[in-house]
Amino acid sequence: MNDASIAYDMVVVGGGPTGLAAAIALAQIGARTALIARLAPYADNRTTALLGGSVDFLQGLEVWPRCRDKAAELRVMRLVDDTGRLIRAPEVHFSCEEIGLDVFGYNIENRVLVSALEERAAAVPNLTRFDDEAATISPEDEIVAISLGTSGSLSARLAIGADGRQSLCREAAGITVHRRELNQAALTFNVSHSRPHRNVSTEFHTPQGPCVFVPLPGDRSSVVWVSAPKEAERLRALSDEELSQAAESQSHSILGRLNVEPGRHLFPLAIERPRQFAKARIALVGEAAHVLPPIGAQGLNMGLRDAADIADAVRDALASGEDPGAPAVLNRYASARRADVVSRTLAIDIANRSLLSAVLPMQSLRAAGLHLIGSFGPLRRLAMREGLAPSWRAVRPH
């Protein structure tokens, strides 16, 4: 495909789940959109617990009906203190019925979600895909010029940086990033089990990080096991039988006998926050805009809210004849995202630090906080609602 001589309204760089969702949302509101993303099979076995408005957003993008039957409902979330410390938190039990919902959300394999997004991206009008990489990105006064890796170039009034952690768009905009490596890594794999999960997700808090068992369709669950990097390497190197036993022991056999499925991936963990969300005709979404440890299933849910908010900002700009790449539009997008991203990054950082802390007062504070949430209904309901989506967020159709 070579439409490189054409000027677009929008160009989205990066075809991970956030970039695909942003490109579909922008094309759906009528913006002439280019997507620069290599067509390649999704490469790891992560799953996503889609919470709150994420499913409504995917429904509006006509993506959800394409993958709904391959997702598992999440109705209960349990937090279990498995630190073995002297001061331990009581078990906390969140149930969707308590806040009047049928489900908290759905857990889905990323490769299934991405293939539904790819399918919709291929069908939506106004979207032109370049199976390529962005080689250079140059913000100018009235456009952003992009040269493609293979050949050709294109331009747009606004570029969406959905190009992940090593974002070229972020660098081109001159946005610096605050990065903190965590001395933790997450091992991901899926298991089948002899007992049903009953749509309950269980998070065991260990002194090295959480180990979470999240329901998949049937008698299967996805596992995210956070530990110190050396321990994560050790777990990854175990035989299938050894890892099945280790996971069964970590889960206290709540799911009966476990059998690991083929495929393991290791993710070194970090917290990243750019100083700005948008600048110089470039707006950042997804992991280009925030990286968090996998606690509370927030990362992609925030990425989907980025996609929804940039589409809202562009729709309003186009409707009023405003330049969608103008500083005022970028500022509106940045203020829509700031509180959500900053508050969640902080909350997850504190939750993670309090778990790892060997300091007794910190452990007592954590135990007291979880005790309060577990025993005091209004606080528990508030925590559940805030965990799903920010309460101040207006719901808008897409």
**Residues at the interface with ligand FAD (CB under 6 A):** 13-19, 36-37, 46, 48-49, 133-134, 162-164, 168, 186, 188, 224, 267, 286-287, 294, 297-301, 303
- Provide the minimum distance between the beta carbon of 246 and ligand FAD in the complex, in angstroms, as a whole number: 17
Of 28, 30, 29, the residue nearest 62 (C-alpha): 28
User: How many C-alpha atoms does 24 have within 13 Å on its Cβ side?
Assistant: 26
- Greatest extent of the chain over all pairs of C-alpha atoms, in Å: 67
Closer CB to ligand FAD, 104 or 318, in the complex: 104
Closer CB to ligand FAD, 23 or 317, in the complex: 23
Closer CB to ligand FAD, 169 or 318, in the complex: 169
- Provide the minimum distance between the beta carbon of 164 and ligand FAD in the complex, in angstroms, as a whole number: 3
- Provide the minimum distance between the beta carbon of 178 and ligand FAD in the complex, in angstroms, as a whole number: 17
8 Å CB contact between 164 and 287? yes
CA distance to 108, 115, 148, 196, 198, per residue, from 220 (Å): 12, 21, 41, 8, 11
Closer CB to ligand FAD, 274 or 299, in the complex: 299
Rounded-to-integer distance, Cα 58 and Cα 353, Å: 33
Closer CB to ligand FAD, 60 or 106, in the complex: 106
- Provide the minimum distance between the beta carbon of 140 and ligand FAD in the complex, in angstroms, as a whole number: 18
Of 53, 163, 162, 59, the residue nearest 116 (C-alpha): 59
Closer CB to ligand FAD, 174 or 256, in the complex: 174
User: How many C-alpha atoms does 275 have within 13 Å on its Cβ side?
Assistant: 7
- Provide the minimum distance between the beta carbon of 192 and ligand FAD in the complex, in angstroms, as a whole number: 19
Closer CB to ligand FAD, 46 or 157, in the complex: 46
Strand partners, 204: 80, 211
Q: Which amino acid is at 278?
A: A
Rg (CA), the chain: 21
Burial class (CB in 10 A: 0-12, 13-18, 19+), 67: buried
- Provide the minimum distance between the beta carbon of 261 and ligand FAD in the complex, in angstroms, as a whole number: 16
- Provide the minimum distance between the beta carbon of 340 and ligand FAD in the complex, in angstroms, as a whole number: 13
- Provide the minimum distance between the beta carbon of 351 and ligand FAD in the complex, in angstroms, as a whole number: 15
Rounded-to-integer distance, Cα 306 and Cα 304, Å: 5
User: How many C-alpha atoms does 27 have within 13 Å on its Cβ side?
Assistant: 23
Closer CB to ligand FAD, 94 or 363, in the complex: 94
8 Å CB contact between 291 and 346? no
